[in-house]
Structure 1
């Protein structure tokens, strides 16, 4: 069972060359890394949501749904920072900043997956100079994230139907109870990996060093224009960060 993030739409992002979207995603992550001020990061998160909604025609709820598995990490980040950094209020702000940064990283990645079919995503990596096996590995790994999450939820639902209780007891007791989920999850993951390896071998993956493609991708005018806009926005972010000195708060020193 492989679950795909891809959402079929007739949008600008769907028609864009996958290389441009990959470069745009990497640049977007780099831009987010430049800032740690929540007054910058929070608006950037909502701008990313609008980017996926307006250019990719992906509903806001569809963009937010894949972020649910990140919520425990987000909550832990917000709680831990005030405990390790003083004053507490600044720690809370930094916790919020890193939490928003993490959510924006995930959102950018998910928008790429929602607007790019797996075949085009692999071709995009290959045409950017990466080996085909590397592009295929990244693509399968990204697709397997929601599959693993969905599988975990199914196992938990099945165990709860048998009377399994996760909420009761202290942290150690609940951790021990998670073995009834982790063991089936590990077995199912190994089975899926084995089936995937058989499928790849049956298609003679790696038999020839020089690959041919039934479908190929080509850059058009809109793709070059979009690439120029991405580079321009990255230059603007660098100017704001390093020339104007905005968007960054010193944590230590």
Structure 2
């Protein structure tokens, strides 16, 4: 099974119950939303990056590789904010703040995906109350998005071997030539969806409401301890923001 985000490592984050990591990720995202001061958000980003290295044994270069596609959005955000918000210096600060928020959100999400296998991740969502059908949908999406990405590359290579040229011509010409990739990709996707529906029906998906699992998860002592630490850190974030009034800059004076 192709699952490009997960890294098999022997670390504390890998050993935790997926429910702890899911709740921790949501709490972290909620905590980051409390602040818009770059003096807080920049250190929080690097603290999260160091935590990924220390607790998950995830190399910084591996994380930066996943964050690389977000660089254009970060640049656009930093450039646009000074143009739409005055004074321009404060607009620049807000642009940096929202960029750091985006990067930290992505980093927290990638930490969850890189330290939790697909099976554990879906089972964690189901144990938290998500309907099994929704969990299965997420599982299928995580499974077939990279598969379609690889299939697209194979189709493009096959078309190039037949003389197909994507790099030449203006934007409209290039978009027209993309039909040589999109049509085979659409046909392959429909075929895959049909085969998947047959496989699900052959296994009687939805025949009974109560499900059993071959593999199950169970909270242990270190999971409860980690959950307690996460809740305390979230409470600290609330206190710093609302008790001390730090980490927030008013946008409207």
- Do they fold alike, i.e. is TM over 0.5? yes
Counterpart position of 1:106: 106
- Partners of 1:172 and 1:85 in 2: how far apart? 35
Map 1:32-111 to 2 at 5 A.
32-111=32-111
Question: What RMSD, in angstroms, separates the aligned Cα atoms of the two structures?
Answer: 2.8
Look up the SS of the partner of 2:5 in the other structure.
Answer: coil
Distance 1:180-1:114 versus aligned 2 partners, 3 A rule: same
1:145 Cα deviation from its structure 2 partner:
5.2
Contact 2:39–2:247 (Cα < 8 Å) also in 1: yes
- Partners of 1:3 and 1:123 in 2: how far apart? 16
* Structure with max Cα Rg: 2
- Partners of 2:87 and 2:58 in 1: how far apart? 40
Map 1:19-30 to 2 at 5 A.
19-30=19-30
Contact 1:66–1:146 (Cα < 8 Å) also in 2: no
Contact 2:166–2:174 (Cα < 8 Å) also in 1: no
Contact 2:56–2:115 (Cα < 8 Å) also in 1: yes
- Partners of 1:152 and 1:90 in 2: how far apart? 43
Counterpart position of 2:130: 130
Map 1:1-253 to 2 at 5 A.
2-144=2-144, 146-147=146-147, 162-165=164-167, 186=186, 189-253=189-253
| Deviations, residues 28-51 of structure 1 (Å, cap 9, x unaligned) | 110111111111111111111111
Distance 1:197-1:100 versus aligned 2 partners, 3 A rule: farther
Look up the SS of the partner of 1:45 in the other structure.
Answer: helix
TM-score (norm 2): 0.85
| Deviations, residues 129-171 of structure 1 (Å, cap 9, x unaligned) | 22111222234334555556656666677777833227x75x7
1:218 Cα deviation from its structure 2 partner:
0.7
Contact 1:37–1:97 (Cα < 8 Å) also in 2: yes
- Partners of 2:104 and 2:144 in 1: how far apart? 20
| Deviations, residues 155-208 of structure 1 (Å, cap 9, x unaligned) | 677777833227x75x77777776666656555554544444343333332122
Distance 1:188-1:238 versus aligned 2 partners, 3 A rule: farther
Moved more, 99-108 or 195-204: 195-204
Moved more, 155-164 or 51-60: 155-164
| Deviations, residues 14-68 of structure 1 (Å, cap 9, x unaligned) | 1100110010010011011111111111111111111111111111111222223
| Deviations, residues 93-144 of structure 1 (Å, cap 9, x unaligned) | 2122112111111111111111111111111111112211122223433455
Number of corresponding residues: 251
Unaligned runs of 5+ in 2: none
- Partners of 1:151 and 1:87 in 2: how far apart? 49
Unaligned runs of 5+ in 1: none
- Partners of 2:94 and 2:160 in 1: how far apart? 37
Moved more, 31-40 or 154-163: 154-163
